[in-house]
Amino acid sequence: MFTGIIEEIGTVKEFSKSGRNALIVIECEKVIEVENGTTKIGDSIAIDGVCQTVTAINKNNFSAQVSSETLGVTTFSKFKTGTKVNLERALSLNQRFGGHIVTGHVDGIAKVKSIQQKDEFYYVKFEVEKDLAKYIVKKGSVSLNGISLTVADLGSCEFSVAIIPHTFKNTNLVDLKSGGFVNIEVDILAKYVEKFLSTDNNGTIDENFLKENGFF
């Protein structure tokens, strides 16, 4: 599990496909800390929000094997040598929980519609498929390229986030361009609520159901 608080920007050193799968090698410093031994083979690291298992560690890079499922759902298929990626190690129990619950199981991709700077903040509008839009709520949490962000505005299949200068400049959001894509993970709590309600109520939510379950 992750928090959506990015630790470091890494660089894709190698991205090679083998059949339906791929191997990715990421150059970085902080998230591996070889001398301190804080990251080991088998550990999880989120690469642009995608939970990946470390399969090899060297002095300044680590490797992960990418499945065909990941290639089909995320932006990984667009990676090339030199691509900048957000990195976060899995949460440990002695850390502060600064973002929100991020599983690293990306739901799909979101398209960048516009980027505007107002005063010091950056307002970015994204477009998503309808089946993902239903899980996004105003003032709710969303993970974009592994970054925990708050939804500032919401449309039918569009939403916007207001990004502080620190986050914008210290993640790969600084490289975003209109028409580009990011990995999106919607709030896992919304999925659990949907599952609970549809299972216990045969998919029917009406006024009586809401009263019986204390919603009003």
Residue 77 and residue 119 in one domain: no
Q: Is residue 205 part of a domain?
A: no
Cα torsion 162, 167, 169, 172: sign: negative
Residue 119 and residue 180 in one domain: yes
Rounded distance between C-alpha atoms, residue 141 and residue 121, angstroms: 18
Nearest to 30 by CA among 12, 7, 49: 7
The number of distinct structural domains making up the chain is 2
| Average predicted confidence (pLDDT) for the chain | 90
Rounded distance between C-alpha atoms, residue 26 and residue 13, angstroms: 5
Residue 76 is part of a domain; what is its CATH number? 2.40.30.20
Residue range 89-97: average pLDDT?
78
Q: Is residue 178 part of a domain?
A: yes
Length of the chain: 216
pLDDT of 79: 95
Q: Is residue 100 part of a domain?
A: no
Q: Please give the model's pTM, rounded to 2 decimal places.
A: 0.88
Q: Is residue 52 part of a domain?
A: yes
pLDDT of 4: 93
pLDDT of 6: 95
| DSSP structural state of residue 167 | H
Range of the domain at 42: 8-89
Residue 69 and residue 113 in one domain: no
167-197 residue pLDDT tens: 999 999 999 999 999 999 999 888 888 777 7
42-52 residue pLDDT tens: 999 999 999 99
Q: Is residue 201 part of a domain?
A: no
Please give the C-alpha separations between residue 107 and each of 21, 24, 102, 132, 175, in angstroms, as whole numbers: 19, 20, 11, 8, 22
Q: Is residue 212 part of a domain?
A: no
pLDDT of 59: 86
Site of tokens 């059949």: 19
